């Protein structure tokens, strides 16, 4: 049994259970109650598993069921090199990371009789270059990249001797079925590999329309395929799978002292032999149900009477039919097997610097959410103070409970000399930060950046230019396995982590979906490409000018529409103008197809995002229309008709200023604003200010007046230069002014204690807020500042909020150093119901949310997905350590604040520091010196670690020096 609070099972664990007959059946954990759905906003309770329940896929059928942990036995656990682990039954104990994983497996021949036990997976032959390799790293010469796409040529053989070749890119075999596949309909697919040699498939003969025939027979030939209907079936056997071409995104090159030409993006032919997969830990990735090749022993085909295996029959068939020259070169010695059981043994580097080998993986507990201040031997770190960019350290060992590290500091000298050792010392983990560029782990792909004078030369070869990290050493070096199958020790300054192309935005979207939530800049780039492309406009100069005029007018009109929600007549006029312009395009189909395509793309990529962004809506579906555009299947006539559909939708609807604007998708129409009829609002009365009292004067209505509470809100004439939104200059409409003053009145009455607000008389769109940390939380006695900007369309859209970070480290998962505030009410985080912003939401609701939902007792669980760790031993320990970090960061932030007070709150901050600065420090000191005193924190914190105390003593001194002038004033 696991320790209290431990989760016994994790996704991809191999488990077993007893059947009714007492036999063992095996399966994989697909999800658990704690890891099944990280989205905490799932509304349908049935989608969540009950506590202690797990969703299991049973081998080999793929049938899934929900089973209690008590009915399951853990057989094996998938742990890869660099995974962080601890021992089971020791939730507060030392952690470590996996350095190696050795897997022994049981194999069973597919459709055969041969079985093998305890086979080391290093002896298995992977099915090279298949779909599962997409996004995997590869190397060629001195270049590193990732696989973008793979095309394979599969040779199929018929029983009558006919043969043909098909390409995977043609999707020819998608409708064919594997005769040996035991997976039930809709079941879980254990194997990622789709095709392998000796596999038998059945399907319709007519689906081989794109096949290239190498040997035709009477019944199987190109003509019979063309004449076949779907009733005509066939059975084929795969005798060879050949990689036809591999598409690679080359994104990093080693520095070799000479110019190295980038390899071609499409690798084919003889160049494929030079392409190498960087998978030094591939043998550690196998699990139940994987299909592999295994060279058990040469099949016995000399004496037919001794043939025992279907694969033996396959080999005999290949030879009898004279298919050998078309078959896989190693077909006689390699047979396909499926893994039926695994047993993993893991090597671990523990934080205390000790290593251990051959630990059964079931004795280890994976740490999926490690603490940010958790370091391990071999890690490269900086000082948080950043005194010198040329100094870095390597962790020799770490004290998990004490929160300290023993490190060795290095000084980089020059490009031609190795780093120089400065000193060894014990440092608080709170005074360290992970190195920005030395982010190495076992398996990391690296390229050579330099060589020191005493390093061996590789002459003119590429043998030591691209490789993978095998091991992290505590002397400051790493063991690298290189492209040329050699190994060497290097310093981190000699190599760089390969650029990760996964961070790049995809240029093409194969399924035709657009992500308007990412960046509207994409649409601008697309339009810029359209404008810069001469080929599309080389028809007639007259047409080109007409298109440009239409482009400019339509975009400007739609921009107006997107911000004119409350101006009924203007919106109607805009819709009519759009309709008239688009209709004019359809007269006589004067424009060429390519021009119409450019216009339609411009509407979709540029206008639609503007409309959608203006309403706060993010989800759009333009799959069908974009697929047709990408494949150039739309004629000019159809495009004109689509544009008319868009204009008709504009014309048939009118705007509703009171309700949310809805985005609708109909047929071929792109996303448009659904507008509803509403009476025109009466003119908003003039707003006056007399002696600090806001008066709304209306000749027809009785005057309304109210006073602002000076303790909660104060007015300042001019927006200060340090206001983040200083340069935002929106227009102002009467409805906004009326709503603004209504909100100010409400804030004046209902703003809770601990929140102060500054409004600016010269600009009603900007505010500044001070929020005090809540009592009995790690944030007590802290002060936090936010700048707010109210867009012109507020409250239809949420405000924009900027957080003033006083220190270069986060003290809350929702508050970023760059100023971002992560909150569902602001649309910067997912939410449901009242958690999302609506036109009825208020500033008061926003400010209270920041105070009560962000500045909480256990902020650790505010991190996305971490809520699942509540009430677990790992979660409770991480929460306690996170609160240590909050107190330290808050101490340092207060030091900076005394010298960097946001304009307008100088008096409040000085008073706050004078009244609470000393109290704040004494409270923490009492927790260090007398942790058993009655005034214990109500949040997880004690006992405070040695690392905390070391860092706090330094931070305390800085804070005392900073607040001394205020204390004496």
Residue 405 has pLDDT above 60, yes or no: yes
Q: What is the pLDDT of residue 656?
A: 35
The torsion angles phi and psi of 392, rounded to 5 degrees, stand at -150, 170
CA–CA separation, 56 and 205 (whole Å): 37
pLDDT tens for each residue of 81-90: 999 999 988 8
CA distances from 674 to 64, 74, 575, 614 (A): 43, 55, 11, 13
Residue 649 has pLDDT above 50, yes or no: no
Q: Where are the domains of the chain?
A: 1-77, 137-278, 371-452+462-497, 557-661, 713-963
Pairing of strands 212-215, 200-204: unpaired
pLDDT tens for each residue of 243-277: 889 999 998 888 877 778 899 999 998 999 899 98
Hunting for tokens 């039954």 — which residue is that?
Answer: 89
Percent of the chain with pLDDT over 90: 43
Residue 479 has pLDDT above 90, yes or no: yes
Q: Are the beta carbons of 824 and 836 closer than 8 angstroms?
A: yes
Of the given ranges (74-88, 187-201, 827-841, 902-916), which has the lowest mean pLDDT? 827-841
Domain 1-77 and domain 713-963, same fold? Reply is: no
* More confident of the two residues 38 and 140: 140
DSSP strands (E only) in 571-709: 662-664, 672-674, 686-690, 693-697, 704-707
**Widest pairwise Cα distance in the chain:** 111
SS3 assignment for 329-352: CCCCCCEEEEEEEEEEEEEEEECC
Please say if 142 is a catalytic residue: no
Of the given ranges (234-248, 379-393, 775-789), which has the lowest mean pLDDT? 379-393
Hey, how many other C-beta atoms are within 10 angstroms of the C-beta on 501? Answer: 16
Q: Are the beta carbons of 616 and 793 closer than 8 angstroms?
A: no
CATH topology of domain 1-77: SH3 type barrels. (2.30.30)
The torsion angles phi and psi of 829, rounded to 5 degrees, stand at -155, 155
Q: How confident is the model at residue 129 (pLDDT cuts 50, 70, 90)?
A: low
Q: What is the pLDDT of residue 202?
A: 95
- Superfamily of domain 713-963 in the CATH hierarchy: Ubiquitin Conjugating Enzyme (3.10.110.10)
* List of residues 6+ apart from 511 with CB closer than 8 A: 623, 627
Can you spell out the DSSP letters for 630-664? Answer: HTT---HHHHHHHHHHHHHHHHH----SSSPPEEE
- Displacement of CA 879 from its chain's centroid (Å): 23
Q: What is the pLDDT of residue 237?
A: 93
Of the given ranges (182-191, 310-319, 511-520, 811-820), which has the lowest mean pLDDT? 511-520
Residue 57 has pLDDT above 70, yes or no: yes
* More confident of the two residues 229 and 666: 229
CA–CA separation, 522 and 514 (whole Å): 10
- Displacement of CA 576 from its chain's centroid (Å): 43
pLDDT tens for each residue of 587-646: 444 445 555 555 554 544 444 443 433 333 333 334 444 444 444 444 545 555 555 555
Q: Are the beta carbons of 495 and 447 closer than 8 angstroms?
A: yes
Q: What is the pLDDT of residue 698?
A: 35
Q: What is the pLDDT of residue 557?
A: 44
First to last CA, the chain: 62
Structure tokens at 385: 């103070």
* More confident of the two residues 315 and 832: 315
Q: What is the pLDDT of residue 37?
A: 45
Q: What is the pLDDT of residue 915?
A: 86
Residue 17 has pLDDT above 60, yes or no: yes
Q: What is the pLDDT of residue 968?
A: 59
CA–CA separation, 441 and 423 (whole Å): 24
Q: What is the pLDDT of residue 589?
A: 42
Structure tokens at 348: 């671990």
Hey, how many other C-beta atoms are within 10 angstroms of the C-beta on 536? Answer: 16
Q: What is the pLDDT of residue 625?
A: 46
* List of residues 6+ apart from 234 with CB closer than 8 A: 158, 202, 203, 204, 205, 208, 220
Residue 917 has pLDDT above 60, yes or no: yes
Q: How confident is the model at residue 432 (pLDDT cuts 50, 70, 90)?
A: very high
Q: How confident is the model at residue 291 (pLDDT cuts 50, 70, 90)?
A: very high
Segment 907-912 shows an average pLDDT of: 89
CB-count burial class (<10 Å; 0-12, 13-18, 19+) for 400: buried
Q: Are the beta carbons of 434 and 381 closer than 8 angstroms?
A: yes
Segment 220-235 shows an average pLDDT of: 92
Question: Which residues does residue 411 pair with via DSSP β-bridges, in sequence order?
Answer: 391, 420
Q: What is the pLDDT of residue 222?
A: 92
Most confident of the ranges 583-597, 699-713, 901-915:
901-915
Q: Are the beta carbons of 448 and 498 closer than 8 angstroms?
A: no
Q: What is the pLDDT of residue 308?
A: 61
Output the CA torsion sign for 314, 316, 319, 321.
Answer: negative
- How long is the chain? 969
Catalytic residue among 167, 204, 280, 822: 822
Of the given ranges (194-203, 406-415, 579-588), which has the lowest mean pLDDT? 579-588
pLDDT tens for each residue of 337-357: 999 999 999 999 999 999 999
Hunting for tokens 């006056």 — which residue is that?
Answer: 688
CA–CA separation, 423 and 391 (whole Å): 11
Residue 426 has pLDDT above 90, yes or no: yes
Of the given ranges (205-219, 384-398, 759-773, 809-823), which has the lowest mean pLDDT? 384-398
* List of residues 6+ apart from 775 with CB closer than 8 A: none
Predicted model pTM: 0.72
Q: Which of 839, 821, 860 is nearest to 743 (CA)?
A: 839
Most confident of the ranges 96-100, 575-579, 661-665, 897-901:
96-100
Residue 841 has pLDDT above 60, yes or no: yes
Pairing of strands 713-716, 755-760: parallel
């Amino acid at each position: 049994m696991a320790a209290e609070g431990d989760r016994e099972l994790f996704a991809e664990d191999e488990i077993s259970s007893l059947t009714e007959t007492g036999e063992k059946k095996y399966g994989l954990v697909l999800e658990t109650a704690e890891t099944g759905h990280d989205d905490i906003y799932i509304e349908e309770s049935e989608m969540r598993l009950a506590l202690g329940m797990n969703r299991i896929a049973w081998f080999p059928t793929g049938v899934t069921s929900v089973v209690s942990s008590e009915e399951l036995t853990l057989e094996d656990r998938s742990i890869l090199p660099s995974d962080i682990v601890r021992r089971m039954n020791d939730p507060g104990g030392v952690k470590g990371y996996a350095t190696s994983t050795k897997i022994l497996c049981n194999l069973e021949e597919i459709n055969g009789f041969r079985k093998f036990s305890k086979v080391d997976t290093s002896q298995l032959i992977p099915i090279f270059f298949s779909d599962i390799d997409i996004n995997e790293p590869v190397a060629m010469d001195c270049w590193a990249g990732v696989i973008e796409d793979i095309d394979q040529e599969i040779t199929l053989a018929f029983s009558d001797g006919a043969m043909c070749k098909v390409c995977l890119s043609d999707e020819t075999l998608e409708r064919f079925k594997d005769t040996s596949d035991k997976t039930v309909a809709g079941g879980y697919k254990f194997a990622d590999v789709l095709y392998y040699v000796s596999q038998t498939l059945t399907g319709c003969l007519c689906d081989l329309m794109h096949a290239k025939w190498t040997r035709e027979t009477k019944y199987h030939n190109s003509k019979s395929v063309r004449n076949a209907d779907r009733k005509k079936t066939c059975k084929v056997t795969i005798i060879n799978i050949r990689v036809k071409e591999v598409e690679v995104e080359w994104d990093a090159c080693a520095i070799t002292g000479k110019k190295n030409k980038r390899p071609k993006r499409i690798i084919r032919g003889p160049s494929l032999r030079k392409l190498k997969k960087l998978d030094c830990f591939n043998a550690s990735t196998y699990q139940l149900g994987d299909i592999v090749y295994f060279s058990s022993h040469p099949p016995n085909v000399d004496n037919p009477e001794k043939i025992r295996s279907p694969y033996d029959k396959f080999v005999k068939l290949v030879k009898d039919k004279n298919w050998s020259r078309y078959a896989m070169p190693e077909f006689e010695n390699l047979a396909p097997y499926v893994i039926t059981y695994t047993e993993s043994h893991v090597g671990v580097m523990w934080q205390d610097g000790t290593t251990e080998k051959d630990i059964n993986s079931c004795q280890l507990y994976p740490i999926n959410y490690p603490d940010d201040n958790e370091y391990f031997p071999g890690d490269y770190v900086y000082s948080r103070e950043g005194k010198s960019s040329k100094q870095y350290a390597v962790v020799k060992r770490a004290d998990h409970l004490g929160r300290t590290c023993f490190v060795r500091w290095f000084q980089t000298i020059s490009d031609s000399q190795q780093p120089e050792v400065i000193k060894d010392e014990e440092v608080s983990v709170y005074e360290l930060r992970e190195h920005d560029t030395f982010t190495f782990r076992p398996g990391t792909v690296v390229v050579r950046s330099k060589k020191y004078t005493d390093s061996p030369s590789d002459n003119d070869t590429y043998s030591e230019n691209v490789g993978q990290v095998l091991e992290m050493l505590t002397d400051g070096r790493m063991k690298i396995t290189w492209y040329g199958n050699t190994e060497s020790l290097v310093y981190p300054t000699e190599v760089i982590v390969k650029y990760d192309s996964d961070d790049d935005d995809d240029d093409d979207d194969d399924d035709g979906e657009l992500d308007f939530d990412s960046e509207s800049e994409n649409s601008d780039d697309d339009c810029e490409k359209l404008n810069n492309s001469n080929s599309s406009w080389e028809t007639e100069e007259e047409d080109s000018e007409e298109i440009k005029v239409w482009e400019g007018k339509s975009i400007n009109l739609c921009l107006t529409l997107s911000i004119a929600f409350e101006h009924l007549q203007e919106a109607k006029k805009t819709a009519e103008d759009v309709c008239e312009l688009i209709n004019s395009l359809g007269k006589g189909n004067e424009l060429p197809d390519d021009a119409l395509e450019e216009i339609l793309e411009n509407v979709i990529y540029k206008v639609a995002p503007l409309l959608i962004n203006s309403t706060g809506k993010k989800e759009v579906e333009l799959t069908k229309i974009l697929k047709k555009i990408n494949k150039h299947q739309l004629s000019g006539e159809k495009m004109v008709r689509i544009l008319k559909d868009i204009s008709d939708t504009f014309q048939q609807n009118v705007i509703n200023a009171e309700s949310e604007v809805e985005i609708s998708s109909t047929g071929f129409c792109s996303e448009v604003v659904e507008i509803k009829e509403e009476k025109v609002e009466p003119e908003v009365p003039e707003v006056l200010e007399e002696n600090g009292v806001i008066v709304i004067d209306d000749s027809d209505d009785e005057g309304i007046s109210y006073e602002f509470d000076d303790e909660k809100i104060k007015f300042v004439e001019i927006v200060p230069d340090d206001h983040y939104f200083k340069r935002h200059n929106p227009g102002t409409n009467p409805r906004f002014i009326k709503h603004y003053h209504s909100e100010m009145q409400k804030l004046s009455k209902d703003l809770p204690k601990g929140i102060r607000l500054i409004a600016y008389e010269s600009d009603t769109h900007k505010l500044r807020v001070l929020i005090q940390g809540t009592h009995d939380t790690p944030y007590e006695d802290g002060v936090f500042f936010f700048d707010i900007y109210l867009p012109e369309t507020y409250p239809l859209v949420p405000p924009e909020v900027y957080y003033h970070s006083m220190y270069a480290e986060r003290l809350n998962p929702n508050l970023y150093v760059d100023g971002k505030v992560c909150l569902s009410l602001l649309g910067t985080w997912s939410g449901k119901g009242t958690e999302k912003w609506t036109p009825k939401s208020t500033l008061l609701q926003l400010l209270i949310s920041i105070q009560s939902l962000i500045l909480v007792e256990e902020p650790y669980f505010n991190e996305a997905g971490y809520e699942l760790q509540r009430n677990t031993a790992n979660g409770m320990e991480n929460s306690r350590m996170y609160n240590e970090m909050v107190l330290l960061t808050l101490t340092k932030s207060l030091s900076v604040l005394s010298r960097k007070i946001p304009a307008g709150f100088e008096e409040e901050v000085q008073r706050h520091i004078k009244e609470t600065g000393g109290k704040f420090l004494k409270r923490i000191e009492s927790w260090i010196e007398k942790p058993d005193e009655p005034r214990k924190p109500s949040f997880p914190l004690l006992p405070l670690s040695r690392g905390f105390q070391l860092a706090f003593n330094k931070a305390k001194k800085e804070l005392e020096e900073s607040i001394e002038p205020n204390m004496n004033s």
